[in-house]
């Protein structure tokens, strides 16, 4: 046992550790003080004696998001930016509204696994496994169905119904982050060289210029 622990300790000491969710808190709570001058992993804590119910509260998730945009969906996040009391707690959520045939385009959350519940309408959802398989795991969900998107994997949703669709997503980070693939690849500032992208996507620079102009 002792030697096992010793070798485990050695393993931990020499290997960089990647955590798939936020680290555990070491106190009851650490309400974010976004104005704090200290840069830490998360936000500095407000004096706990000054914590109020409002630090742990958000209102308005019953309101539909405005889906009048090119993708036909709207994400309303509720993370540490909206609820400072979520700081260090490793959890957050979002409401996602979809117009008929609206999509939440392929994206990843660098710091969170997502568990999504359809509360209205129906959604086609999917995620893609890592290289080399790049297997698409996909399903059509109806009201009340729940689906998991493992941390970091590229995933998407699309409203396949005729009416609106609504989902609530819970995420295993106070600050899950989002990388929308199209925006990152075609909308970076400054832009990635068009000939590099043309070779990556096995197309020509004119096509890349046209796509880049959309972002």
Shortest Cβ distance from residue 81 to ligand NAG (Å)? 21
Q: Is 68 in the site for ligand NAG (CB under 6 A)?
A: yes
Shortest Cβ distance from residue 67 to ligand NAG (Å)? 8
Of the two residues 77 and 150, which places its CB atom closer to ligand NAG in the complex? 77
Q: Is 27 in the site for ligand NAG (CB under 6 A)?
A: no
Shortest Cβ distance from residue 12 to ligand NAG (Å)? 50
Q: Is 63 in the site for ligand NAG (CB under 6 A)?
A: no
Of the two residues 70 and 144, which places its CB atom closer to ligand NAG in the complex? 70
Shortest Cβ distance from residue 70 to ligand NAG (Å)? 10
Residue in 108, 145, 143 with CA at minimum distance from that of residue 129: 108
How far is Cα 14 from Cα 30, in angstroms, rounded to an integer?
A: 30
Q: What are the structure tokens assigned to 169, written together? A: 């997503």
One residue of 66, 130, 188, 207 binding ligand NAG per CB under 6 A: 66
How far is Cα 31 from Cα 49, in angstroms, rounded to an integer?
A: 10
Q: What is the DSSP track for 16-83?
A: ----SSPPPPSSS---B-TT-S--BSB-PBPPGGG--GGGG----TTSPP---STTSEEEEEESTTT-
Q: Rounded to a whole number, what is the largest CA-CA distance in the chain?
A: 64
Q: Are strands 136-142 and 165-171 parallel, antiparallel or unpaired?
A: unpaired
Total residues interacting with ligand NAG, rule: CB under 6 A: 2
Shortest Cβ distance from residue 124 to ligand NAG (Å)? 24
Residues within the interface to ligand NAG (CB under 6 A): 66, 68
């Amino acid at each position: 046992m002792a030697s096992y622990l010793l070798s485990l300790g050695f393993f931990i000491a020499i290997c960089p550790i990647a955590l798939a969710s936020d680290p555990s808190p070491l106190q009851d709570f650490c309400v974010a003080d976004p104005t704090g001058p200290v840069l830490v992993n998360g936000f500095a804590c407000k004096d706990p004696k000054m914590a109020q119910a409002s630090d742990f509260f958000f209102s308005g998730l019953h309101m539909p998001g405005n889906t009048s945009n090119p993708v036909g969906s709207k994400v309303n996040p509720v993370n540490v930016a909206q609820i400072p009391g979520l700081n260090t707690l490793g959890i957050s959520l979002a409401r996602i509204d979809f117009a008929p045939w609206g999509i939440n385009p392929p994206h990843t959350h660098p710091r969170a696994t997502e568990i999504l519940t359809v509360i209205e309408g129906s959604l086609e959802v999917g995620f893609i496994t890592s290289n080399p398989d790049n297997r698409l795991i996909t399903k059509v969900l109806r009201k009340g169905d729940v689906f998991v998107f493992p941390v970091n994997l590229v995933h998407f949703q699309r409203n396949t119904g005729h009416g609106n669709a609504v989902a609530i997503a819970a995420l295993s980070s106070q600050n899950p982050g989002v990388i929308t693939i199209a925006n990152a690849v075609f909308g970076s500032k400054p832009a990635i060289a068009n000939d590099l992208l043309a070779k990556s996507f096995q197309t020509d620079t004119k096509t890349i210029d046209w796509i880049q102009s959309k972002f």
